Amino acid sequence: MKRLLPAVALTPCLLGGAAWANASGAAVYVSLIFGAGDEGWGVDLGWGAELHVTFPLDELPQTECHPARAITSATGPFLRLAFRGLEPRVFGGLYYGHEAGAGTLGGELGLGAVFDGPGPSLGLLTQLVASGSDFEGFLGADWLAPAVELGVGATAGDRLGFIEASCIVGRPCRSAEGALLAPPTAAPLGDAVLDRWAAAAAAEGASIAAFWQLALDLQALGAPPALVARALQAADDEVHHTALCAGVIAQLGGTPPALALPVRLRAPLAGAAGLARLAAESYVDGCLGEGRAAAEAALAARLARHPGARAAQRRIARDEAAHARLGWDVLAWAVGRGGLQRQVAALRDARGEAVSPIEVPPSAVDQGQLPNGLLAEVAARHAVAARARLDRLLA
């Protein structure tokens, strides 16, 4: 009989488990197994199912609004029933994972029993697991077989639970003097959740012009063409986000507001003062503001039950994370060119807006909107992370 301990596979974190002190999940997977058998090395089909529990190593505290979390690293045990062809294997071990961009990168170490004869034999496995919101892939090895396994599978969520993204949502427009220009206010739709989505649509629409402005500022100040191109791409992303928000309003039974670009663009920034303004706005509006909004969108996507709202927030979180990276890259370029460490360091205690003027009930999480209690916690968490990253940049 062939002997192999399959490497660890896919383990999504089910949304229901994340409301507790830990996150529990289950998954099924398929794989290719390259291993030694009675007739030498060969390739076989592997498949199986897994249960796991992960315990957060860092998280947002519970709130009165909803007991949700924003976990960036977690560890816990797993238990798997796996097959190589029709040969059963039962094994378990310990998982550790950390947030990596829009997904999770983790590792597993475990022991297993392989039922390939009168009695079980043992194997020692190590595994690298890369997880996204909809899938998970793995590469692992049984060091005693020896054997290597490569597999993929579908997931119902993120392995860690609710992962806090490190970045973004809408960028605000500003006047020539740097004052914030509020997006147009839509007429009330008679429901707080719908009004929140309408406000989001207006903010995303305002961000279209804000990124056009950023592209002009970058070009005028002599920034690398790649930064200008990324600003223009971000404007295109905001067009799509505006349409997504309007689509959710329609799916929830409301009438989407008309898109209105709020302001004429200011004259492009210029000179040393313009470079200092660019650096300040990149941190406050991009690194801090958009980063916080991305974390909010990521958490909203994981809590939402409405499929349209979940898909919209997931796309917004992903794109806004790229916009936040743009903010950090613009800041680094401006600081490196202009020697603006002292001016930028004065912004390290900035926090930005933490809550929405439109309060929603705890049940709004089902439709993709977070109550103000959760918004405030995400804002506080992100402000600490952004300040730490700013200190590293200026060191």
pLDDT at position 100 is: 64
pLDDT at position 103 is: 63
The answer on pLDDT for 66 being more than 90 is: no
Residue range 298-314: mean pLDDT, rounded? 95
Residue range 71-84: mean pLDDT, rounded? 81
Report the mean per-residue pLDDT for the chain.
78
Structural domains in the chain, sorted by start: 15-154 (2.40.160), 173-394 (1.20.1260)
pLDDT at position 113 is: 83
pLDDT at position 324 is: 93
The answer on pLDDT for 232 being more than 90 is: yes
**Encoding tokens for residue 381?**
């968490």
**Encoding tokens for residue 265?**
């663009």
Confidence of residue 37 (pLDDT cuts 50, 70, 90): low
From 101-115, 235-249, 286-300, 343-357, the region with the lowest mean pLDDT = 343-357
Task: Provide the whole-model pTM.
Answer: 0.58
Q: pLDDT: is 179 or 305 the higher one?
A: 305
The answer on pLDDT for 215 being more than 60 is: yes
Do residues 265 and 176 touch, judged by C-beta distance below 8 A?
A: no
pLDDT at position 156 is: 58
Residue range 314-342: mean pLDDT, rounded? 91
